[in-house]
A = this chain, B = another copy of it.
C-alpha cells in the first residue's frame, strides 16, 4: 500500500493529534474582548467548515453561543463583534482568506486556525491570534486538529458548555483502534456488496457526521452520496425515496431515543434496496460524533484501497482550487 498505508495509519492514530489539539485550544489566550462575543462564526471550506458544523450542533445541545458556519468567501454582514474562527488547514484556501480579511474589516474578533500559510502570515501582520495546528498528510486527515482546537478554545473562554469528561471520553474512544477498524471493514463490505444511490441518514443533532461522511467518501473513495436528516426528510424527501426504491441507506444511529426508533421507522417507510446501520459508540454526544467521524475516515480510505483508488489523490479538487485562485470578484488578502 506504500503511501496509502501511511495515510491510513495517520487516520488510525487520531488520538494523539486530538489530545494535543484540545490541550493547545484550552491554552489559547484570546484577547479579553473576545469573550464578550454574542455569537461565533466559523469560516471554512470542506473539513474546516465541517468542524464548525460540529461545534454548532454541540453548542445547541449542551449550551453556549450560537455558532454560524460560512462555507464561502463572504462573512455575514452582521459579524461585527462576533468571534470568527477563520479555519484553513493549509492556510491557503482563498475563500477562507477572503472571509477572514472581510470579517476583520467589519470589526469581528478573528482567530486564525491553521498550520501556517498565507492565513497565519496575514493574522500575524494584522495582529489577530493564530492557533497553529499540527501538520497531517492532508487537510481532511487533520480534522481532529481543527475540531479539538476550536472546542478547547471555546471551552477556555466559557463560550460552550460541553463537560470536560465528555471531551475526555471522546479522545479515549479514539484509542479503540481494533473496534474502529472492524466496524470500518464491515461498512466497506456493505458498500462493496450493495448498489444504488447511496444515502447517509442521521438524526438532526448528528447530521454534521453524515455530511462529513459524504465528504470523506467523495474525497478518499471518489464515491458520491446524498445525505438526509431525520425528522426533516420525513416532511419531503421520503416521498421521493419511497416512490423510487433505488436507494441504499447508511444509517448513523446514536442509540438514543427518540432517534433510534424514528430512524428505524423512517427506513421502513422509505423502503430502500439495502440498509446498513452504523452504531455511533460512546456515552455522550461529543464521543458519538467523533466516533462516526473516525469511522468515516477509516472506511473511506479502506474502500479506496479495496478498489485500487489512491485516497490521497484529489485531482479535480486541485483543479477547482486553481479556478478559485484565479477568480476575480473576491479580494486578494490585504
Chain A residues packing against B (C-beta within 8 Å): 38-39, 45-46, 49, 59-66, 68, 70-74, 76-78, 95, 161, 197, 204-205, 214-215, 217-219, 221-226, 229, 231-232, 234-244, 247, 257-258, 261-262, 265-266, 269-270, 314-317, 319-321, 323-324, 327-330
Query: Contacts A46-B236, A76-B66, A219-B236 given: A316-B59 contact, CB under 8 Å?
Result: no
Which residues from B are CB-within-8-Å of A257?
A: 328-329
- Bound complex: CA of A154 vs CA of B171, how far in Å? 43
Which residues from B are CB-within-8-Å of A70?
A: 60
**A239 & B78 in contact (Cβ 8 Å cutoff):** no
**B320 & A234 in contact (Cβ 8 Å cutoff):** yes
In chain B, what residue has the closest Cβ to A258? Answer: B329
- Bound complex: CA of A133 vs CA of B45, how far in Å? 38
Query: Contacts A76-B60, A78-B66 given: A316-B239 contact, CB under 8 Å?
Result: yes
- Bound complex: CA of A164 vs CA of B197, how far in Å? 44
Cβ-closest 9 pairs across A and B: A234-B320, A258-B329, A46-B235, A60-B76, A218-B240, A222-B243, A72-B204, A215-B236, A224-B240
Copies in the complex: 2
Task: Give 9 pairs: A residue, B residue, CB < 8 Å, sorted on A.
Answer: A46-B236, A59-B78, A60-B74, A61-B77, A66-B68, A222-B243, A239-B317, A262-B323, A265-B320
**A63 & B39 in contact (Cβ 8 Å cutoff):** no
Which residues from B are CB-within-8-Å of A66?
A: 39, 66, 68, 76, 78
**B78 & A234 in contact (Cβ 8 Å cutoff):** no
Give 4 new A-B contacts, CB below 8 A, not counting A62-B77, A71-B231, A215-B237: A66-B68, A231-B320, A234-B321, A257-B329
Smallest beta-carbon distance A71→chain B, Å:
4
- Bound complex: CA of A65 vs CA of B39, how far in Å? 10
Please tell me which one of the listed residues B78, B204, B236, B330 contacts residue A258 in the complex, with CB atoms under 8 A apart: B330
**A218 & B232 in contact (Cβ 8 Å cutoff):** no
**B324 & A234 in contact (Cβ 8 Å cutoff):** yes
Smallest beta-carbon distance A230→chain B, Å:
9
**A316 & B238 in contact (Cβ 8 Å cutoff):** yes
